[in-house]
Chains A and B, each alone.
Chain A
Amino acid sequence: MIVRTVLLTTLLLTLAVTAGVRFALLLGIGLAIGFALERFGFGFAGPWRRLIRERNGQGVMAQLLAIGLTALAIQPLIAYAPGSMLGAIAPISVSMVLAAFVFGLAMQLILGCGSGTLVNAGSGNVLAIVALPFFCIGSFIGTLWVPAAIEWTPHAVVSLPQSLGVPGSVFTTLGGLLLIGWGVSRFTDGPLWNKKLITAAVILAGLAVVHVLVAGQPWGVVYGLGLWVAKGAVSLGWDPSTAAFWTHPINASALTESILTDTTSLTSMGLLGGAAMAAWAGSRDVPLWPELKPWIFLMVIVAGLLLGISSRLAFGCNVGALFSGIASGSGHGWAWMLAGFLGSVLGVRLRDWLWIRAVREAG
């Protein structure tokens, strides 16, 4: 415990000195989020699966609580400091909705969403470890396709704070979450609230608000994953000026700057590290390789690629689009939730069918 604390403090202080205090804080926030998600078993794909299969809405209610608390804090904050802070506002389009549907389906196949794949990989889950590099590659491929998607289909930005003002936006956001919560409560069998998940939701909301204060933007995951592959591609001779996405000043700058100064890279690495810390003690007794047929890894690779591509085309994953989008008052967050959930309904069925075959053939 003491050794880990000393190592962690040294790591954060070193980053503060070599890159800047803000970046050390962001890595620390990522570590805390990863630790909390793993320790409390808080997630997105799993709770949706439990709601669909078992009519257990506890995880979804915790998600709604976390999003609501975050919205309550960050919408006024962003409006108060518009020059230095921005919300996770993105357009709605046909391609965005289809991509969110595919993400919802793919995240059920490997039971790992944007944050979940990182947390699972950090905790030593070999399926997530296999999926993660392909998630990164897919995210990069998505950056190459997203300008065409924007050009070919109409994209409309729906910003609730801009349309309704901050009080109206917060009221609408909380009202929408309450409505969904009511629907979940009607659908759920058994208890609706879980003390551990409520605690995790409050912690996650607190960390999401701190993230906005420090970074000036809401929590996201997938941008950093695509950036890592783009940097690798550049080092192998790829010319980023051939891709419209990477010629935009913000992205071109991210390509030339260190990943230790990129917000989503730092929090995503933090998620991996935080989950590793939380899972370390109990990891010795859990076997690395599950008893599954090898072909399941091919499915994991395809799902990883789909997660990456679809999250870029949907302007974020369950974190950047669903969590941060809704909390920021972006209409695309709500569209993402609906399409992602429908994709998950199909994904749950598909996973059950595939897993039963994989386990039966392995046995």
Chain B
Amino acid sequence: MSRRSGIVFVLICIFAVVSAEWVGGNPPDPYRAPDPMAFGSTSGASGAICTFAPGASQ
């Protein structure tokens, strides 16, 4: 087996994760989509961030 099998496996896993979540009841809603870019928009940052520290003063 070559690394190509590994690549195909990873791509299938990504597809499976997204599909499972979609089928499980969390499809995205395009009518609630924020502005295309946060810069200059009123919708701001898209969500959580890695440096998020709940409880610590930010």
The complex places the Cα of A1 from the Cα of B41 at a distance, in Å, of: 36
Contact B46–A22 (Cβ < 8 Å)? yes
Encoded as 1 (CB less than 8 Å from any B CB) or 0, chain A from 281 to 313 comes to 001111111000000000000000000000100
Contact B1–A288 (Cβ < 8 Å)? yes
The complex places the Cα of A189 from the Cα of B7 at a distance, in Å, of: 36
Contact B6–A287 (Cβ < 8 Å)? no
Nearest residue (CB) in A for B38 is A216
Would you call the interface of chain B mostly helix, strand, loop, or mixed?
Answer: loop
CB-CB under 8 A from B32, the residues of chain A are 20
Encoded as 1 (CB less than 8 Å from any B CB) or 0, chain A from 20 to 34 comes to 111101100000000
A248-278 residues at the B interface, CB under 8 angstroms: 248, 250-251, 253-254, 256-264, 269, 272-273, 276
CB-CB under 8 A from A258, the residues of chain B are 21-22, 26-29
Interface size class on chain B is: 35 or more
A182-228 residues at the B interface, CB under 8 angstroms: 212-218, 220-223, 227-228
- Number of A interface residues at 8 Å Cβ cutoff, please give it: 87
The complex places the Cα of A227 from the Cα of B41 at a distance, in Å, of: 26
CB-CB under 8 A from A25, the residues of chain B are 36-37
Is A90 an interface residue, CB under 8 A from the partner?
yes
The segment out of A49-57, A64-72, A324-332, A348-356 that lies at the interface is A324-332
- Which residue of B5, B22, B37 has the most chain A CB atoms within 10 A of its CB atom? B37
The complex places the Cα of A240 from the Cα of B40 at a distance, in Å, of: 34
The answer, among A90, A124, A259, A332, for a CB contact under 8 Å with B6, is: A124
A89 with B58, Cβ < 8 A, contacts A26-B46, A213-B38, A217-B49 known: yes
A77 with B39, Cβ < 8 A, contacts A260-B28, A279-B3 known: yes
Contact A221–B54 (Cβ < 8 Å)? no
Shortest Cβ gap from A132 to chain B (Å): 8
CB within 8 Å: A-B pair count: 235
CB-CB under 8 A from A259, the residues of chain B are 17-18, 21, 26
Would you call the interface of chain A mostly helix, strand, loop, or mixed?
Answer: helix
The answer, among A21, A88, A248, for a CB contact under 8 Å with B36, is: A21
Is A40 an interface residue, CB under 8 A from the partner?
no
Is A237 an interface residue, CB under 8 A from the partner?
no
Is A146 an interface residue, CB under 8 A from the partner?
yes
Contact A213–B37 (Cβ < 8 Å)? yes
Contact B2–A283 (Cβ < 8 Å)? yes
The complex places the Cα of A276 from the Cα of B43 at a distance, in Å, of: 32
CB-CB under 8 A from A311, the residues of chain B are 50
Between-chain CB contacts (< 8 Å), 27 pairs: A22-B36, A77-B39, A81-B39, A90-B52, A90-B53, A90-B56, A124-B6, A124-B7, A125-B3, A214-B38, A216-B38, A216-B41, A217-B49, A218-B49, A223-B48, A227-B48, A235-B24, A262-B47, A263-B46, A276-B7, A283-B7, A284-B2, A284-B4, A320-B51, A324-B51, A325-B51, A330-B51
> Which B residues fall within an 8 A CB radius of A?
1-7, 9-11, 14, 17-18, 21-22, 24, 26-30, 32-58
